[in-house]
Structure 1
């Protein structure tokens, strides 16, 4: 059951309820001014009884008054709300923190009713009628697995959901120990989802929020919604209470092979087909469903949009009689004094219709006990059943073999690793989806793709190699080999003598020989490669087919060179030498000699000459005075001169005469000893 607020639940119970509807179609919102009416049909069973392991798309039929037609596969999401325009403070008996009602009034929250996609349409007068289905309809595509088998059912489920872009909620609970032993062949994604759900006592459906969900059936599950007698218009019990104590699962429909668990007659046996079930799975299924029961009925009720198919519901029904009409024994009567009896059932099929108001139709069908016990086949049915047992059916797999009108006889492994096709136009063996051995009908030739390994025997006549690899020993008695001979492994015995080889390819792992003479040697046909030829010498190419390095064989003036080219093909520089110069030249517009590590510097041995300006951008270490020719004697001479100048400077003195200084008074005797002559001190 979809969760709703207390306000929404309370207003659904009111008799003066007023619905608001809208629909989001391809991202654009449409109100009830456009929506005339709609109905949503949900099912968990396609038969007249209870089933598990179904994945049935829900159906939306909506009438819209539109000027323009909706595009193909348009996405439609209907919503419903309840008007709160009459809500007063006295009536608002709801928890304050749970209320999200705007002060301006309006309605309750918008409840989604599902996600659907347009399938077909018709126009009646000025109203478009669209028939839509939910996303499960997109699962009707072939399931081709990329998993390695055996694989868990959970891994298969996740692979399917990832491929289809489905998201699922926590209701999807898959037993982690359940496995599928071999890759499924001939099943759709929707079938596989149903098989996985059935093994886990569930069916698959799309919830109102657009997520994939499981409806898991468990014996004794409590009701999630209770209907009073005022909530429905009429209810009709169609059969006695249906219960199950025994499980019978058919895992091979052709031979009628089954697994069973539990005890009980046909009326209490749940029959189910699933090719991936094991006895352990059936035992677990019976333990989960043992005693599962429901009341078969049909009901027309007021609309409760939160109910989902598979929900267990209870309802009250008045069954009281007057004393005069009570014809049953007193000790057998189980009627309460109020006359109201409570029943429990589940929703296997429901239709929610909106046309101004909301109406709900609920069904829980079952097969009667007489149908279960006394199923009598007529003469035609008996003949058809006998034909089904003995006839080979078109498109039906028999241990990997199928017969169809388009392909004839096809034999294929379950994991698609190998396949053989036999018909009047094709005789082919496939490996991994590609032809490995086939008959080329127009050319009257058998062709191999891959490896041809000789276990024994002798090839005589002419062997033409179309493609492939020969391994082992190939001994030629006679004949001529033409085409491509590719040797991966093995030993050639005897003498292999080529009188003349014209054209064709020789492919091998190792070629041993003294001399190989040819015009061009390539490591690849194009792209990144090395080429050797007599004209252009040794060349390397990048992935863009640009020649980056070339070792030429030119002999002009005795030159030999290694030339370098940029990514655009332009000349970048070369390393060459001339016999007349007797030296190695490195030539380019700019030359960088560098080391990737300071621990491994660049070494220059021998005399080095720089004929141009030298610029040093960092410090120099390891050069002493003795390493530079003549520098030591020059520095010694400069030091001697500096010492002489220093000695002369620091030992220099001179005389100074300051004359008579008596301040104009001859009585003052001034400098009597030396008459005003003084000698200065050294610096």
Structure 2
């Protein structure tokens, strides 16, 4: 259900409601004076039963009084508002913060009824009738994917929406594990979108604002809108409540190949066609739909424009009877005390009609149980069905092969990169749109345009050429060449053998791959501009003009050997398994450098590491673990220092000296004269 304001919702329920209409046609706005009437048809099913995986465009039929020229495929958006001319302050019982009203009080906010594009038109006097459809019709173009397959359904869905410039909302829920194994050739974008929706228990539609949405069907869903008996004119139940407990998905209609899940008879079985289905998809559909039910009906009602196709609605109906009219037993009678019975159904088809007022018709069709159970085919029907299974149909693709009246047998790849056409006048293989190999009737010759390549084969007879130049790759599994063999460049694969012979001149080769060169020796030749590999991929060594490169089994570059002329250095560079450089060894004019990008370990697993000559540390040295005895001369030097320290300590400990002081009276003349004077010897420390 499309969101509307509380004010709009309240005024829709009023018996005296009055609509205001307008339509945006291109950039021009048409008001009620130029809009005669319109109708809008929305559907999720156009059959006589319930379906999933549909993508049915909504249809607008609008009559405009105009003399203006409205261009082809013009965009038309009808709008509805409700008049507030009679609204007083006392009647406005709405939260102030939720109201967005003009001071003139002309009407509520404008509700869009969909985005449509002109498809057909008819004029009667000064009134034009335009038939329009929403933008789902724009997806009726062939889908040629640029993705790599297998890929996820989400990736395919996004590619199509991006190409069409469409947006979708959170209602689009696609199982991340669902995949499409091969490019869906032969389908339109709309069909592919519908199949993806079908796999996820949904149908697609464009909402009133022009957004792509999923209507996802689940077994238990509460009504989004409840109708009282005053909201509809008539309602008619067309069949008993329809319930599904079994799902059968046909993924190959030609051979009738199916997946199924659940149990139930024909009346409780939902049939689906989906070429992308798997057993897991079918099981997922049963999990979602098992027990899904609705009440089949038709209803004519007051128009509630916020309702959308797929909405689950509730409605009530007066079904009370008197005690005298009740014939069921007491325990089997379930009648509400107010006599009002409440039902739930789903909108599968709806039509809004406006001609001064808005009315609405709803439909939820279903196949009757009798028709489901008893399918009787006549003899003609049986033969037609058999013919449909056995016969090859004109213009229908069978794994890329098609038969038409104009071209005969056509075999074409889904990406159109190659095609073959066979008929009495043409025998042609195409590369894209260009002829690659064909029979030229006027010259009575077979012609070839492209590269001739043979992995293995035997050419018998004489191969002659009056003249010509061979460019590209010349590959031969085996053979004997006599005379003079000259080539500007090329690729030789297979085994090249010669019993004897002499190669003179200059031999130039872009590459030598995939074979053996067998000979006693190669003498007197230069190989220029070549790339030599020990293997095409994996563990290998490659030699090219830039130097040697060593690769590991993961095709990661691990060691390179070469020169850097701009820096005037040459050496090795070492890489980790991710191809990131870890260090290098190189020579400059007067030194050899060993550098680690992140760290450098120099050591020996056994024996010793000898560093000859002067060693200079320009930075901090950590982790050093050297014994005193391991440093030559250090023990004797330290012992000499210790002896000197011991001698100084002994002299200090045995040292004494004398101190002579004069007589003094401590500042008191009463003391005896000459007190305290004399020579004294100190003690040892």
Q: TM-score, normalised by structure 1?
A: 0.70
Distance 1:55 1:87, change over 3 A: same
CA distance in 2, matches of 1:479, 1:438: 32
- Residue 541 (structure 2) aligns with: none
Distance 1:162 1:480, change over 3 A: farther
Distance 1:513 1:430, change over 3 A: farther
Distance 1:32 1:509, change over 3 A: same
CA distance in 2, matches of 1:256, 1:510: 52
CA distance in 2, matches of 1:485, 1:405: 48
Matching of residues 477-626 of structure 1 within 5 Å: 487-489=490-492, 509=510
Matching of residues 9-48 of structure 1 within 5 Å: 9-48=9-48
CA distance in 1, matches of 2:390, 2:301: 50
Distance 1:152 1:417, change over 3 A: farther
Whether 1:122 and 2:122 are equivalent positions in the alignment is yes
- Residue 634 (structure 2) aligns with: none
CA distance in 2, matches of 1:475, 1:381: 63
Distance 1:481 1:359, change over 3 A: farther
CA distance in 1, matches of 2:249, 2:404: 29
- Give, in angstroms, the shift of residue 261 of structure 1: 0.3
- Give, in angstroms, the shift of residue 466 of structure 1: 9.0
- Give, in angstroms, the shift of residue 478 of structure 1: 8.3
- Give, in angstroms, the shift of residue 202 of structure 1: 0.2
- Give, in angstroms, the shift of residue 508 of structure 1: 7.1
- Residue 324 (structure 2) aligns with: 324
Query: Of 471, 474, 482, which residue of structure 1 is paired with 2:474?
Result: 471
Which sections of structure 1, spanning at least 5 residues, go unmatched?
499-505, 516-683
CA distance in 2, matches of 1:385, 1:439: 40
CA distance in 1, matches of 2:58, 2:471: 53
- Residue 153 (structure 1) aligns with: 153
CA distance in 2, matches of 1:407, 1:13: 63
Worse-superposed segment, 468-477 or 16-25: 468-477
Worse-superposed segment, 328-337 or 293-302: 328-337
Whether 1:245 and 2:245 are equivalent positions in the alignment is yes
- Residue 446 (structure 2) aligns with: 445
Worse-superposed segment, 370-379 or 388-397: 388-397
Asked whether the equivalents of residues 447 and 466 of structure 1 are also in contact (C-alpha less than 8 Å), the reply is no
Distance 1:134 1:191, change over 3 A: same
Distance 1:94 1:383, change over 3 A: same
Worse-superposed segment, 390-399 or 358-367: 390-399
Distance 1:468 1:425, change over 3 A: farther
Asked whether the equivalents of residues 57 and 133 of structure 1 are also in contact (C-alpha less than 8 Å), the reply is yes
- Residue 66 (structure 1) aligns with: 66
Whether 1:333 and 2:336 are equivalent positions in the alignment is no
Distance 1:183 1:441, change over 3 A: farther
- Residue 621 (structure 1) aligns with: none
Distance 1:382 1:478, change over 3 A: farther
CA distance in 1, matches of 2:502, 2:414: 45
- Give, in angstroms, the shift of residue 450 of structure 1: 2.6
Matching of residues 380-459 of structure 1 within 5 Å: 380-414=380-414, 418-430=418-430, 435-443=435-443, 444-453=445-454, 455-458=456-459
Distance 1:294 1:507, change over 3 A: farther
Distance 1:479 1:84, change over 3 A: farther
- Residue 350 (structure 2) aligns with: 350
Partner SS state of residue 453, structure 2: strand
Distance 1:340 1:481, change over 3 A: farther
Matching of residues 176-325 of structure 1 within 5 Å: 176-325=176-325
- Residue 378 (structure 2) aligns with: 378
Which sections of structure 2, spanning at least 5 residues, go unmatched?
513-522, 527-685
Partner SS state of residue 285, structure 1: helix
CA distance in 1, matches of 2:369, 2:468: 71
- Residue 462 (structure 1) aligns with: 464
Deviations 1:287-324 (A, max 9, x none): 00000000000000000000000000000011112223
Asked whether the equivalents of residues 349 and 364 of structure 1 are also in contact (C-alpha less than 8 Å), the reply is yes
Asked whether the equivalents of residues 458 and 477 of structure 1 are also in contact (C-alpha less than 8 Å), the reply is no
Asked whether the equivalents of residues 23 and 78 of structure 1 are also in contact (C-alpha less than 8 Å), the reply is yes
Distance 1:466 1:133, change over 3 A: farther
- Give, in angstroms, the shift of residue 124 of structure 1: 1.4
Asked whether the equivalents of residues 462 and 479 of structure 1 are also in contact (C-alpha less than 8 Å), the reply is no
Q: How many residues align?
A: 507
CA distance in 2, matches of 1:295, 1:431: 57
Distance 1:467 1:145, change over 3 A: farther
Asked whether the equivalents of residues 215 and 310 of structure 1 are also in contact (C-alpha less than 8 Å), the reply is yes
Partner SS state of residue 159, structure 2: helix
CA-based RMSD: 2.9
Asked whether the equivalents of residues 80 and 111 of structure 1 are also in contact (C-alpha less than 8 Å), the reply is yes
- Give, in angstroms, the shift of residue 394 of structure 1: 1.4
Matching of residues 356-371 of structure 1 within 5 Å: 356-371=356-371
Distance 1:237 1:302, change over 3 A: same
When Rg is computed on C-alpha atoms for both structures, the one with the higher figure is 1
Distance 1:486 1:372, change over 3 A: farther
Asked whether the equivalents of residues 318 and 341 of structure 1 are also in contact (C-alpha less than 8 Å), the reply is yes
